[in-house]
Amino acid sequence: MKSILSTALAMLLMFCGLGFSQSEEANFDQFIGDWTGEGRFYNVNFSDELGTIRFTLRITPDMEITGTIGDAQLEDAEIEVDDWNNGYRIRGSVSGRISPYSDFEKRRITLLLKAVRDNATIGDFHLANNFMFDLTMRPGEIRLRRNP
């Protein structure tokens, strides 16, 4: 019985070590720079109503993140490893209207991005009123390219 417990404990510690080592290998530097791109909402009717949304991001070497989502401003954003989606997550506040032609506003955004390849990244965005649960969340796809 002791050997089974010892083996189970050793495996648990090994898996915990793997989880910590993934976070230690985060390569946030790949996102440093200025980015532009566009996004589309997954809801076709809503996407037709608002059209393509222009995104800009600026990520400094100190990991300060600013940008725009349509006409709205991205504020207080942070980047972290997103093990759930095997990529990276940027979360921040949104102030202002996304489109000048619509009353659509949200207070929070989450960007789920894949690793940078050929100076580009793809992923999803979630516009919501909070980071927990929002029945009126508006998700979509995003494509970003690093500015030269």
1-56: pLDDT as tens digits? 555 544 444 444 444 444 444 444 689 999 999 999 999 999 999 899 889 999 99
**Residues 62, 32: Cα–Cα separation, whole Å:** 9
Domain membership flag for residue 75: yes
pLDDT (average), residues 60-71:
96
**Residues 123, 134: Cα–Cα separation, whole Å:** 20
Domain membership flag for residue 63: yes
In terms of DSSP H, where are the helices of the chain?
2-24, 44-50
Domain membership flag for residue 120: yes
Residues 6+ apart with CB under 8 A from 47: 40, 41, 140
Domain membership flag for residue 15: no
Check pLDDT > 60 for residue 82. Answer: yes
Domain membership flag for residue 130: yes
Domain membership flag for residue 83: yes
The CATH number given to whatever domain includes residue 46 is 2.40.128.120
Surface-to-core class of residue 13, CB atoms within 10 Å of its CB (0-12 exposed, 13-18 middle, 19+ buried): exposed
The sign one gets for the Cα dihedral 124, 27, 34, 62 is positive
- Residue range of the domain that includes 127: 28-146
Question: Between the ranges 82-86, 109-113, 126-130, where is the mean pLDDT highest?
Answer: 109-113
Domain membership flag for residue 47: yes
In the 8-state DSSP scheme, what is residue 33? Answer: E
How many structural domains is the chain composed of? 1
